[in-house]
Amino acid sequence: MTTIPLSSPDLIDCDVAAVLEVLCGPRLSLGPKVPAFEQAIAERAGVRHAVAVNSGTSALHLCIKAAGIGEDDEVITTPFSFVASANCVLFENGTPVFVDIDPVTWNMDPGRIEQAITPRTKAILPVHVFGRPCAMDQILEIARRHRLTVIEDACETIGARYKGRPVGSLGQTGVFAFYPNKQLTTGEGGAIVTDDAEVAALCRSWRNQGRGENGGWLQHERLGYNYRLSDINCALGLAQIERLDEILTRRACVAALYTEKIRNIPELIAPADAESETEMSWFVYVVRLQDEFTRQDRDAVLEKLRSRGIECNDYFTPIHLQPFYQSRFGFHYGDFPITESVAERTIALPFYNQLTEAAVERVCRSLREAVHSRQATRAVA
């Protein structure tokens, strides 16, 4: 029995050739591939500037700095995300303020933002979760009214659109990430996109030890970091971005195959269709068990799938329930009930470009058996 992995990067001969070309040349870093990749990302996002950095987390950190977040400033964000989208606020001694999510889209519920605003609120950081654009009109309107900066975490959502506009281009800054499980990979990497020339120049300086644009190598104008992305990574990114449309189409096809089968399993809820004003960019394929199932049921289903060689996971553990957040902020179970209720019932299934129809069939067959047998156990209990 072969194992079906949870994710798998899609690397072909031209990706390998692009990397080899850099390895055979004189410049492994600070060479021409970095601005070329940035140009391609900026075009794709429909913005003037892109700044490539060594991870999505670094990119988020620089966006928080660019927004001027400091001691005691509050940033409104979602607890249903990867931990980095809240940690970036803590890097600058700000405070993440969570609002609960929409039970259907799993994105931050815009109807809950205003009641979370205080005199200390400086920014809203929406996360486009699993490749689904947030309700940006509402978020931008609230931000405008309260003079708040919007930072979009689009790490899972490159290529998606909201009312025709690329996700990541709607706030002051937007962030993409290129870890190998993302739609486009550079091995490790991230990028900040923005229309603000001053923000872009600051991010370029911060990522390169605080050096100025025209200053010397040992001239440091501000406190900076080494958040640079190498030419090796950028060459891979350039090769990948040429295929991005193809990649996104393929992923949408795999998602459609899954949804057709999942809708025939009554114990499961398939991901909602894309809202009419949006185009999704499929990052992962996550289903959830109906409300009558518990976390223990879900964990038993995960175990059963794994025992059959099907990798799967429980995305996301809510950020407020991470041990570090519980001990530092005193969060506990019950604080964000919709997030918790979704999070304890989700199952991320194998999802990648090359996943075959036969493999999707095998996953869904095992999944159906696993939930049916759990249902039978519950009936006896």
Ligand X SMILES: *Cc1c(COP(=O)(O)O)cnc(C)c1O
- Options 54-62, 215-223, 243-251, 322-330: segment touching ligand X (CB under 6 A): 54-62
> Of residues 342-371, which lie at the interface with ligand X (CB under 6 A)?
none
Q: Which of 112, 101, 172, 96 is nearest to 134 (CA)?
A: 101
Q: Which of 333, 344, 69 is nearest to 77 (CA)?
A: 69
Q: Which residues lie across from 220 on neighbouring strands?
A: 211
Q: Does 87 bind ligand X (CB under 6 A)?
A: no
Cα 154 to the chain's mean position, in Å?
Answer: 6
Nearer to ligand X, 47 or 155 (CB): 155
Nearer to ligand X, 63 or 367 (CB): 63
- Options 8-16, 71-79, 81-89, 159-167: segment touching ligand X (CB under 6 A): 81-89
Q: Does 41 bind ligand X (CB under 6 A)?
A: no
Nearer to ligand X, 61 or 374 (CB): 61
- Options 22-30, 52-60, 95-103, 205-213: segment touching ligand X (CB under 6 A): 52-60
Least separation in angstroms between CB 108 and ligand X: 12
Q: Alpha-carbon distance 301 to 295, whole Å? A: 10
- Options 15-23, 82-90, 160-168, 348-356: segment touching ligand X (CB under 6 A): 82-90
Q: Which of 7, 77, 78, 85 binds ligand X (CB under 6 A)?
A: 85
Nearer to ligand X, 153 or 297 (CB): 153
Q: Does 158 bind ligand X (CB under 6 A)?
A: no
Least separation in angstroms between CB 289 and ligand X: 22
User: Which two three-digit tokens encode residue 108?
Assistant: 């931050």
Nearer to ligand X, 127 or 274 (CB): 127
Nearer to ligand X, 32 or 180 (CB): 180
Q: Which of 163, 178, 146, 174 is nearest to 63 (CA)?
A: 174
Q: Which residues lie across from 153 on neighbouring strands?
A: 127, 175
Instruction: Give every CB contact of residue 35 below 8 A, 6+ residues apart in sequence.
Output: none
Q: Does 84 bind ligand X (CB under 6 A)?
A: yes
From the candidates 33, 182, 261, 304, give the one annotated as an active-site residue.
182
Secondary structure (DSSP) of 111-178:
GGTGGG--TTEEEEE-B-GGG----HHHHHHHHHHHT-EEEEE-TT-TT-EETTEETTSSSSEEEEE-
Site string for ligand X, 124-143 (x = CB under 6 A): ---x----------------
Least separation in angstroms between CB 25 and ligand X: 26
Q: Alpha-carbon distance 45 to 194, whole Å? A: 9
Q: Which residues lie across from 123 on neighbouring strands?
A: 75, 149
Least separation in angstroms between CB 120 and ligand X: 24
Report the side by side order of strands in the sheet with 190-194: 49-53, 190-194, 173-177, 149-153, 121-125, 74-77, 95-98
Nearer to ligand X, 22 or 134 (CB): 134
Q: Which of 179, 126, 113 is nearest to 152 (CA)?
A: 126
Q: Alpha-carbon distance 222 to 370, whole Å? A: 56
- Options 138-146, 153-161, 267-275, 319-327: segment touching ligand X (CB under 6 A): 153-161
Nearer to ligand X, 177 or 203 (CB): 177
Q: Which of 215, 197, 213 is nearest to 205 (CA)?
A: 213
Q: Which of 3, 99, 51, 53 is nearest to 233 (CA)?
A: 53
Q: Alpha-carbon distance 151 to 169, whole Å? A: 10
182 is catalytic: yes
Q: Which of 9, 116, 179, 306 binds ligand X (CB under 6 A)?
A: 179
Does residue 66 sit in helix, strand or coil? helix
- Options 78-86, 140-148, 273-281, 361-369: segment touching ligand X (CB under 6 A): 78-86
Q: Which of 73, 102, 156, 340 binds ligand X (CB under 6 A)?
A: 156
The binding site for ligand X (CB under 6 A) comprises: 55-57, 81-82, 84-85, 127, 153, 155-156, 177, 179, 190
Residues labelled catalytic: 182
